[in-house]
A and B are shown apart, each in its own frame.
Chain A
Amino acid sequence: MAKHIIGTVDEIPPGERKLVTLEGREIGIFNIRGEFYALRNRCPHQGGALCKGRVSGFVTAKVPGEYEYTRKGEILRCPWHGWEYDIKTGQSWVDPASVRVRSYEVEVAPGTKIEGAEDMAGLMKGPYVAETYPVTVEKTYLLVEI
C-alpha cells in the first residue's frame, strides 16, 4: 500500500476526470461537485476502458412510461456496452449483486499537510507513472492509496 500524489485539486474541475497509471493500474479520478472519487479503468464485464465512458445520471421508473432522471453526473457508463456504475462506490447498477468495479479513496491534502512529501514525490518516479509532481506548500493535492 502506498499513497500516490496524482495531481492538484484545480487540475480536475467539477464534472471532469483524469486518468493516471499507478503501479501498473489505470485509475480514473472523478470530481463530482467538489468531491473526488477514484475507480479502476477496467469494466468487470469485458474489460472496456470504463473511465473513458460517459458520465450520466440514472433513469428510474415506478410504472412503464414514466422516466425519472436522478443522480445526474454520478453514474459512469462503460464506452463499450453501456454498463452503469456508481462513481462514488464502484457499484454496478446492471448487476448490483455480483458486479463492482474497484474503487479507491481519494484524499485531499494541502502541501503543508503531506507528511514526507519529498519521499512520496520520489515514489512517483517509478516506471509506470506517466507524470510526476514537485510538491509545494502553496497547492492542494489529490492522493490515492493503492
Chain B
Amino acid sequence: MWNDFFGLLKKDFRLMLSSKFFLLALGSLVLYSCYINFVYVKLDQEIYPVYLYDPQDTQSVTSEYVTKVESREALEAAIADRYSVGIVLSAGNPELYLLSSGLETTDHYRMLFGEAVLNGTVDGQAEVIGVNNKEVKNRREITAEFLFFELSAVGFLGLASMLFKEKQMGVIRVHGILPICRPMFIFSKLLLLLISDLLFTVLLTNINLGLLYALEVLPAVLLQAGILSLIMALAGFLCAVCLPDFKQFSLFYLVLAVFVTTPVFLAGQTGIVWEWIIYHPMYHLFTAMKSAYFSMPTTSVLYYLFCFGSIILLFILACQTFNREIAREG
C-alpha cells in the first residue's frame, strides 16, 4: 500500500514540476515579498488636513496641523475633497464641519483627529498600534492578506489544473481499472499541495515578518493555512471533476473570485459594514488568518469543528464524484 502511495506521490510531484507549479509559487513569493518590503511598509496615510474658520479670531493658531481660512466659502471649498476636516468657531463653541467620505469608520477617525487638533492633544503620527509599531502592523496585515489570496486562488487552481491535465491525457480512465485505492489518488495530490502551501507559508512569513515574529505566529498561521489549503484544494478538485473543460472552470473561477472572495476582502479591509458577512464561511477563514498573524489565534471550537467537518465532507464528496467520473469516462 505504501509503495502504491509513494508511486502516486512521485507521479503527482512530477506532474506539478512539469506544470511549473513550483515556479509559479516561487514567482508569487518573490512578487509579494518585493511589494511588501519595497512598497507597502513605506506606505503611510496622509494626515487629515484641518481647516479652521474663526471669524472672531478667538483662537490663536499654534498647531502645525491647522490651516486658517478667511471665509465660510473658503472652508467649504477646502473640505470639498471629503478628506479634510473643518472647524467652525463662529458660534463661540467649536463645530466640526466635514463632508462624509462614505465610510463611517473613516469619518469617525476624521472627527476624532479634528477634535484632538483643536484640543492640542496631537503629539505626532500614530506610531504604536497595540504592541506593534506601524511597520510591523503593516507587515502582519499585508502578509496575512497575500497568504489568504494565494491559498484561496492558487490552492483552488493548483489541484484542479493537475486533474484537468490528467483528464485531458485520458489517464483518469486508466486509474479506473488499476488495483488502486481511489481515495489515495486524491489524497496524494492533497498532501503534495498541502506541503507546498505550508512551505510557501513558512517562507512568506519568515521573509516578510522576520524570523523572530515569524516564529511567534507560525504555529497558528500554519494551522489556518493548512485548513484553507485543504478546503480550497478539495473545492477545486470537485469543480474540476464536475466541469467538463478548463474554459467552464475558468468562468466558474471568475464567478468565485468576484462573488465569493471579493465581499470578504471588502468587509475585512474597508469600512463597509455588511451584517450578513458573518454567514460567509470565507470571511471566518480570512479573519482567522489575520488573527493568527496578530498573535490572537481563533479559539472557537465551533469554528474548528466547522472547518474539519467541511474538509471531511468535501473529501467524501470528491471521492464519490471521482468514482462517478471514472464510470462515465471509463
Does B bind A?
A: no
A binding-site residues for B, Cβ under 8 Å: none
B binding-site residues for A, Cβ under 8 Å: none
